[in-house]
Structure 1
Amino acid sequence: MKVGLTGGIATGKSTVSEWFRQKGAAIVDADQVARRVVEPGSEGNRRVRERFGDGVFRATGELDRKALRNWVFGDAAARKDLNDILHPLIIRRMQAEVREAEKEAPDRPVILDVPLLIEERLTYLADIVVLVYIPEELQLKRLMDREGISGEEAKRMIKAQMPITEKKKFADVLIDNSGTRADTERQVDALWETLVSKSGSNRL
């Protein structure tokens, strides 16, 4: 059973992902995969260097993410080039990790932790899509508190993403993280029971 887990900034997706890990799920984390595909010596590292030059790399050969981010932030063509380079590599690596996890334990649910699962049209990678959500007003407050930023800056970051209300349309399961920690855990527990039941697992 492959579960696409997504959310918005400061909605609590990473916390929910960690709870699934603790319960025994295999986690395929898109952010971690994105880092691995540009490690020194990798195809991604080489192709990014060919397109963007040595200026976006440290002396160690590691990608300087901040420098690259600053480059593509205001350059749509450069951002498209970067996505064209990295997205196929990330997807291929994620699919390989899923196959590896399924081979290791066929009855274990696999959580695909992907922040842009919906925006990047990657829902086809999963059997079901789970969205962790909170109301935008609470999202704004939590983001301000977490990052120590102004309301305007937080609004800008939230507006840069697809609205949670839009993401809901693509989700098979919603986890409401606007209540207490216990409230959210109960929802995760209920979903986990369903997942392991459907996969034939005894991991409850």
Structure 2
Amino acid sequence: MSIQPKLKNKQRRIGLTGGIASGKSTIANYIKKYRDIPILDADQYSKDLIKPKSNCYKKVVAYFGPQIVDQHSSENEINRALLKKIIFENSIHRTWIQNLLHPLIKEKMIEKCNQFEKNKILLLVIPLLFEAKFTDLCTEIWLVKCPRELQKKRLMKRDKISNNEAEKIINLQLNFEDKSKFSDVILDNSDNQKLWINKIQELV
């Protein structure tokens, strides 16, 4: 069912998406700085949902067991690095946590869109925009393009993982060609930042 009736106005809601380590955060931060557009970050809402004492936290610990808790955390936070590793390696666990979090993240985004109803433009940063079926939140979709080898290098460096692990993670996501068919704007984030900076300045 479409969520459009829950949104109060016809503001411009740009959905920014792209493969893991393609540079979405860099582009989002630039847009915020350039035009001071509010950013709704799906990843941040996901982190908030599994904070200690929350309902989702309790469900995650009950499902994965006490080993999912970071032993070095004074507040018994979930070990997000371990959780990532588990869900990337096991499709059943991945589906379980996505079914738990995605509907709640979507509700949070709807709430935030309405909270910022006076803003003409919002930027919704949603890594799994297509996979999680969040397209109906957006009035347009911007897709970050990044060469696979560069994306893999960035991911390996960022998460300190091997080439094989990076390959597996990238392969789990919908490929660029499929995403591009349903996107309105392609932002090229290879080595030349001017390419996407110029495009953004034209569009916002």
The question of a shared fold, defined as TM-score above 0.5 by the shorter chain, is answered with yes
Once residues 29 and 178 of structure 1 are traced to their aligned partners in structure 2, the CA distance between those partners, rounded to angstroms, is 23
Aligned: 1:56 with 2:68: yes
User: The residue matched to 1:170 in structure 2 has which SS?
Assistant: coil
Greater mean deviation of Cα atoms: 78-87 or 26-35: 78-87
Aligned: 1:19 with 2:34: no
Once residues 66 and 138 of structure 1 are traced to their aligned partners in structure 2, the CA distance between those partners, rounded to angstroms, is 22
Conserved 8 A contact 2:20-2:151: yes
Cα displacement (A) at 1:70: 4.1
Q: Which residue of 1 is the match for residue 201 of structure 2?
A: 189
User: The residue matched to 1:62 in structure 2 has which SS?
Assistant: coil
Taking structure 2 as the reference length, the TM-score comes to: 0.80
Once residues 76 and 105 of structure 2 are traced to their aligned partners in structure 1, the CA distance between those partners, rounded to angstroms, is 19
- Structure 2 stretches of 5 or more lacking a match? 1-11
Once residues 89 and 165 of structure 2 are traced to their aligned partners in structure 1, the CA distance between those partners, rounded to angstroms, is 17
Cα displacement (A) at 1:24: 1.0
Once residues 112 and 66 of structure 1 are traced to their aligned partners in structure 2, the CA distance between those partners, rounded to angstroms, is 24
Once residues 67 and 151 of structure 2 are traced to their aligned partners in structure 1, the CA distance between those partners, rounded to angstroms, is 36
Once residues 189 and 127 of structure 1 are traced to their aligned partners in structure 2, the CA distance between those partners, rounded to angstroms, is 18
Whichever residue aligns with residue 7 of structure 1, its letter is G
Q: Which residue of 1 is the match for residue 102 of structure 2?
A: 87
Conserved 8 A contact 2:145-2:186: yes
Instruction: Name the CA shift for 1:36/1:134 in 2 (closer, same or farther; >3 Å).
Output: same
Cα displacement (A) at 1:32: 0.6
Whichever residue aligns with residue 84 of structure 1, its letter is N
Cα displacement (A) at 1:65: 1.7
- Structure 1 stretches of 5 or more lacking a match? 193-204
User: The residue matched to 2:144 in structure 1 has which SS?
Assistant: strand
Cα displacement (A) at 1:48: 1.8
Conserved 8 A contact 2:187-2:195: no
Q: Which residue, 159, 166, 171 being the options, matches 2:183? A: 171
* Pairing of 1:1-204 with structure 2 (within 5 A): 1-22=12-33, 23-58=35-70, 60-102=75-117, 106-140=118-152, 142-143=154-155, 151-178=163-190, 180-192=192-204
Percentage of pairs with the same residue: 35
Cα displacement (A) at 1:28: 0.5
Deviations 1:124-179 (A, max 9, x none): 11111110113334434555566676655543333232211111011011112235
Q: How many residues in Structure 1 have an aligned counterpart in Structure 2?
A: 189
Once residues 87 and 198 of structure 2 are traced to their aligned partners in structure 1, the CA distance between those partners, rounded to angstroms, is 41
Whichever residue aligns with residue 13 of structure 2, its letter is K
Cα displacement (A) at 1:5: 0.4
